[in-house]
Amino acid sequence: MAEAIIRASITNNSLSADQISVSDINEARLQFLNTKYGVDTKNSQAQGLSTADLIVVAVRPQDDLVALGQIVQQFAASSAVIVSIVAGVTNAQLAGYFGAERSIIRVIPNTLTDTGYGYSGVALNAYATRDQVERFLLGFGKVEYLDETLMDVFTGFGVAGPNYIYYFIESLADAGVLAGLPREQAWKVALENVMGAVVMLQQTGLHPRQLLDINNSPGGVGIHGLYELNNSDFAAGLQRSVLAAVKRTTELGVK
């Protein structure tokens, strides 16, 4: 995820490579990031932290946040803002690691960083403001500010959202192949229908059910297909998937 943020930020000119320094325990990873994006990977953690305005914490929730917090508190300026993309770790927990009076911004980035689409969920602590982080966040997508109590829900629904769409599109294309279309044509038609349906919803402002009513004539093709989809428990299955993702996000935070 950190690489995706770096790539999008540089591509969208919200940051230049010389404004970004990276620290990682994996030396091979550092060499790769330096070669591919030109970001600074040579400075020590102390050097990078001492000059940073934003410190992006992009580690796993099970990693040693206590040690990382100690390093930040030792070397970073008190005005440096913490931006955490660590799944499930709350702003209160982050404050315990990085400083009780520091600006801390918890971000759940969307994986659609390279497209300009997708909302990142953002929760500010009491010391942080939107101005401190918004330009940076808009460099890799859109921003939805949330009450922190909704972050796990947003993660399982919004940030994991592309997974559900990918699965649906794959299944729709497979259905076309099953019915007899060549794979290439089924794939193109599935993508076009998904993109067109989204644009239709945006342009008309209608509810999906209203468009379904328009598309389904009495006894017609569409309503017969929809009848079978209703029988498949599709909607409830999708909803269970979202709830399972939300549950797992909460579990990661507890661990």
Q: Say if residue 162 carries a ligand binding annotation.
A: no
- In the chain, the percentage of residues whose pLDDT exceeds 90 is 82
Has residue 20 got a pLDDT over 80?
A: yes
Q: What whole-number distance in Å separates Cα of residue 249 and Cα of residue 243? A: 10
Query: Which CATH number do you get for residue 51?
Result: 3.40.50.720
pLDDT interval class at 224 (50, 70, 90): very high
Q: What whole-number distance in Å separates Cα of residue 25 and Cα of residue 10? A: 23
Weakest mean pLDDT among 82-91, 93-102, 164-173, 245-254 = 245-254
Average pLDDT over residues 101-120: 91
Has residue 255 got a pLDDT over 70?
A: no
Give the 3-state secondary structure of residue 4.
helix
Q: Say if residue 59 carries a ligand binding annotation.
A: yes
The reply to whether 220 and 138 lie within a common domain is no
The reply to whether 106 and 167 lie within a common domain is no
Q: Which two tokens stand for residue 54?
A: 């934003």
**Per-residue pLDDT, 94:** 95
The reply to whether 174 and 124 lie within a common domain is no
Is residue 71 a part of any domain in this protein? yes
Is residue 151 a part of any domain in this protein? no
Query: Which CATH number do you get for residue 161?
Result: 1.10.3730.10
The reply to whether 112 and 202 lie within a common domain is no
Side by side, the strands of the sheet bearing 119-124 are 54-57, 81-84, 104-108, 119-124, 142-145
The reply to whether 54 and 35 lie within a common domain is yes
Q: Say if residue 61 carries a ligand binding annotation.
A: yes
Q: Which residue has the higher pLDDT, 177 or 24?
A: 177
Average pLDDT over residues 170-190: 97
Q: Say if residue 58 carries a ligand binding annotation.
A: yes
Cα–Cα–Cα angle for 171, 177, 181, rounded to 5 degrees: 135
The reply to whether 200 and 119 lie within a common domain is no
Q: How many domains does the chain have?
A: 2
Which of residues 146, 178, 207 is at a domain's end? 146
Residue 187 lies in domain: 157-253
The reply to whether 64 and 164 lie within a common domain is no
The reply to whether 110 and 178 lie within a common domain is no
Which of residues 111, 146, 181 is at a domain's end? 146
The reply to whether 69 and 137 lie within a common domain is yes
Which of residues 108, 124, 146 is at a domain's end? 146
The reply to whether 113 and 224 lie within a common domain is no
Tens of pLDDT along 31-52?
Answer: 999 999 999 998 788 888 999 9
The reply to whether 138 and 235 lie within a common domain is no
The reply to whether 53 and 112 lie within a common domain is yes
Q: Round the average pLDDT of the chain to a whole number and report it.
A: 93
